[in-house]
């Protein structure tokens, strides 16, 4: 969400309330994106995906910090922040597409597989014979 031009003429209290809500929303969505990515990415590449997401996020931040003042010089501060509006829109569309791709049935089965693979101990009959370990029957 970018600060619409109408908030520049709003009373200071309204502008402050808008900026506080906007700031909280911007901070909160980071965890949502990271969680969604870690739950949907191939488990072999979760670390790489999160690293790429973080790097792209910082790159976008640096670029916008550099471009918004240039735009403000050309069109004024009141409208320069509108350049930031496509970002949240693209993010919302991407999250909707991700949600549509991930069905509840596939989430349930992948969680069961993950649980079965990582939490249940192997059956004693499948342990390698080490000589010193007694076999349970």
How confident is the model over 32-65, as pLDDT tens digits?
Answer: 888 888 888 889 999 999 999 899 889 988 999 8
22/131: higher pLDDT: 22
Residue 51: predicted pLDDT:
93
pLDDT-derived band at 26 (thresholds 50, 70, 90) equals confident
pLDDT at 10 over 90: no
- Count of C-beta atoms within a 10 Å radius of residue 82: 14
DSSP 123: P
pLDDT-derived band at 93 (thresholds 50, 70, 90) equals confident
Specify whether the CB–CB gap between 1 and 19 falls below 8 A.
no
Residue 1: predicted pLDDT:
46
| pTM of full prediction above 0.75 | no
Place of tokens 């049935």: 105
Residue 71: predicted pLDDT:
93
Q: How far apart (Å, rounded) are the C-alpha atoms in residues 113 and 115?
A: 5
H-helix or E-strand spanning residue 130: none
Specify whether the CB–CB gap between 67 and 94 falls below 8 A.
no
pLDDT at 77 over 90: no
The mean pLDDT of the chain is 76
Torsion of CA 18, 20, 22, 28, to 10 degrees: -150
pLDDT at 111 over 90: no
Specify whether the CB–CB gap between 70 and 63 falls below 8 A.
no
């Amino acid at each position: 969400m970018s600060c619409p031009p109408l908030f520049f003429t709003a009373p200071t209290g309204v502008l402050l309330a808008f900026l506080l809500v906007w700031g909280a929303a911007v901070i909160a969505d980071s965890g949502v994106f990271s969680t969604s990515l870690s739950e949907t990415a191939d488990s072999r590449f979760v670390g790489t995906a999160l690293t790429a997401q973080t790097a792209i996020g910082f790159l976008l931040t640096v670029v916008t910090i550099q471009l918004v003042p240039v735009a403000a010089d050309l069109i004024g501060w009141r409208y320069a922040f509108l350049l930031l509006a496509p970002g949240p829109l693209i993010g919302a569309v991407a999250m909707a597409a991700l949600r549509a791709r991930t069905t509840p049935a596939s989430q349930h089965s992948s969680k069961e597989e993950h649980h079965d693979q990582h939490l249940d101990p192997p059956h004693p009959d499948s342990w390698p014979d080490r000589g010193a370990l007694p076999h349970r029957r």
